[in-house]
Structure 1
Amino acid sequence: QVDRGYAVASVNYRLAPGVTAEQMLGDGDQAVRFIKANRSSWGAGAGKVIASGGSAGGTIALLLAAAPGYFAAAGPGPLSGIDPKVDAVISLVGPSDLRSYIEGSTGGWGPGVAEGFLGCS
């Protein structure tokens, strides 16, 4: 919808089990940088970047906004000079307090979910 003043990019990230939250957030960080680096070639211009997601994607969007650049891939890369800051977040049921998962009070989702996501036990 560039002709209406906005563009949308759908981003994939690696999923648990098998990856940690830090790796998922690194994927999100790289996606924001890639979008910012390439948006002018797509005709999107230099407007605001809004991160949005549902469930785990919402949590990733929240954390990317709260700590821009913290989850960047290690070492310099072709996108390392791009600012990963997002201008706003729309989180659709993104868990922001994982204590209920760790305590096992989420109706079937227990400590294993939080431990797998956080990469700890």
Structure 2
Amino acid sequence: MHSDRLQRRTFLLGTAVLALSPSLVAAQSTVMRGVPYGSHQLNTLDVYLPQIAQNAPLAIMVHGGAWKIGDKSNASVWRNKGRMFNDLGYIFISVNYRMLPEARPLRQAMDVARAIAFIQANAARWGGDARRSVVLGHSAGAHLVSLLASDPGLLRAGGAYPWNATVALDSAAYDVEEVMFGRPARFYRDAFGDDRAYWRAASPLARLGRERGPFLLVCSTKRLTACPNARDFATAVTARGGDAMVLPVALGHRKINTDLGKQNAYTESVLKFIRAQGLP
């Protein structure tokens, strides 16, 4: 009975096969670059406004880069996704945060929480509706947004409140303890160190509570652990009464980031999930 309930609540989308509407074309947008949300030079974000922004929903993107590199303004982070969301009437925001070695993942997550708090406080003056928002992250960024979505208490510590939907793009770090007890790559050791208490504190799975929005966990079928880890996390979410969907795609880690927003079945599957949460 319990297993049947988990099966019903965990929705495995499978490899995307839907066709994208040809109406998704790039629209002109106004960009506000380097908007500060904190005192550090990396506490900045870029805001991409659609042609008309009136109570517009928000799409917030957190870049990856092994917790030590990457930038909000890299084309792979914003170009296709920003154009797509602007065309759909969203305000698209790309977020920077402090990097290793200055800031470890928990501090980075707090930067992201403060960025989201700033966005929520300022959305109305940009023409946005902070109560309608999706948060996306790729790789390390997917870990950070999943961590915050798993524990709204951590999010509230940064002054923010939960959003409508989380899209995690190809993270393999939902269960940090399991990663670190194995034979992790050097960048994991650089990020999470040797302290087992820290592993648990920085693990979305360990912090998973009962207050969390729905997850879409996109994973690359070309990576050994990405989809199994996503499925395990989805099962844990549903066991706590939440909703999580796993979307396996036959794309590499980088292309999962760059190809979202292009006219393809993968993009349409992501949009289908977002629309199912009551967003445009």
**1: CA distance between counterparts of 2:179 and 2:132?**
33
RMSD: 2.8
Q: How many residues align?
A: 113
Q: TM-score, normalised by structure 2?
A: 0.35
Higher relative contact order (CA 8 A, sep 6+): 1
Counterpart pick for 1:66 among 127, 137, 150: 150
Letter of the structure 2 residue corresponding to residue 16 of structure 1 = L
Letter of the structure 1 residue corresponding to residue 114 of structure 2 = Q
- Equivalent residue for 1:30? 114
Q: TM-score, normalised by structure 1?
A: 0.74
Task: Give CA deviations for 1:6-62 in whole Å, capped at 9, x if unaligned.
Answer: 111000111122312221111011011111100111112344121111111001111
Matched, 1:98 2:162: no
Letter of the structure 1 residue corresponding to residue 100 of structure 2 = A
Alignment of 1:40-59 (within 5 A): 40-59=124-143
1:101/1:111 contact within 8 Å kept? no
Identity of aligned residues (%): 28
Q: Using a 3 Å threshold, how does the CA distance of structure 1 residues 110 and 29 change in structure 2: closer, same or farther? A: closer
2:145/2:168 contact within 8 Å kept? yes
**1: CA distance between counterparts of 2:97 and 2:121?**
18
Name structure 1 gaps, 5 residues minimum. 74-79
Matched, 1:17 2:101: yes
1:50/1:86 contact within 8 Å kept? yes
Name structure 2 gaps, 5 residues minimum. 1-49, 53-87, 200-280
1:25/1:64 contact within 8 Å kept? yes
1:2/1:44 contact within 8 Å kept? no
Matched, 1:8 2:92: yes
